[in-house]
């Protein structure tokens, strides 16, 4: 846990390595949970004195290809600028439309692991798949008898 506003005011910096096995929501979409991601979280202050965090994450995730169901590598290079906003310091409409900065609603402490997991989930492709891959082998392709082939024979009687 981190006091994010203080961290930003003091221009703090935290670097580390986070094991994928410790991220339960992300584990649901991974082909395997071995490995880790490296991260760097920096605190800074915006032009108007607003508290901001810069999150950088690098690593490689193995996702399930939606075409062949094998593992497909997804390289990470996340670099996000997040502006902290409490209920009483809501950003202006212009700030909300700034594509370079995302608003992070936060009134208290920040769970760094949860923030990293959220950003990893947001970075995932909608349909992970290889650029080129074979379709999964079916019973018809493998030369084995289809389990319902006998039913087709019964239907003609």
Q: Could you report the per-residue pLDDT of 112-129, keeping only the tens digit for each? A: 999 999 999 998 888 777
How would residue 90 be classed by pLDDT, with cut points 50, 70 and 90?
low
Q: What is the pTM of this model?
A: 0.72
Which of 11-15, 77-81, 89-93, 113-117 has the least mean pLDDT? 89-93
Enclosing domain of residue 82: 4-155
Q: What percent of the chain has pLDDT over 70?
A: 76
How many domains does the chain divide into?
A: 1
Dist CA 142 CA 55 (whole Å): 48
How would residue 139 be classed by pLDDT, with cut points 50, 70 and 90?
very low
Closest to 33 in 3D by CA, of 23, 42, 43, 46: 23
Range with top average pLDDT, 20-24, 62-66, 84-88: 20-24
Dist CA 63 CA 9 (whole Å): 37
* 11-23: pLDDT as tens digits: 989 999 999 999 9
Residue with tokens 């936060």: 106
């Amino acid at each position: 846990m981190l006091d994010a506003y203080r961290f930003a005011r003091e221009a703090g910096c935290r670097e580390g390595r986070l094991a994928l096995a410790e991220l339960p929501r992300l584990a649901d979409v991974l082909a395997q949970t071995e490995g880790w991601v490296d991260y760097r979280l920096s605190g800074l202050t915006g032009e108007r004195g607003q508290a901001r965090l810069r999150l950088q994450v690098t690593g490689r995730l193995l996702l399930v290809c939606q075409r062949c169901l094998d593992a497909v590598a997804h390289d990470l290079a996340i670099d996000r600028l997040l502006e902290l906003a409490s209920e009483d310091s809501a950003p202006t409409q212009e700030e909300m439309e700034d594509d370079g900065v995302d608003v992070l609603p936060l009134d208290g402490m920040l769970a760094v692991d949860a923030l990293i997991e959220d950003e990893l989930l947001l970075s995932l492709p909608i349909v992970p798949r290889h650029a080129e891959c074979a379709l999964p082998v079916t019973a018809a392709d493998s030369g084995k008898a289809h389990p319902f082939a006998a039913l087709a024979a019964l239907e003609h009687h």
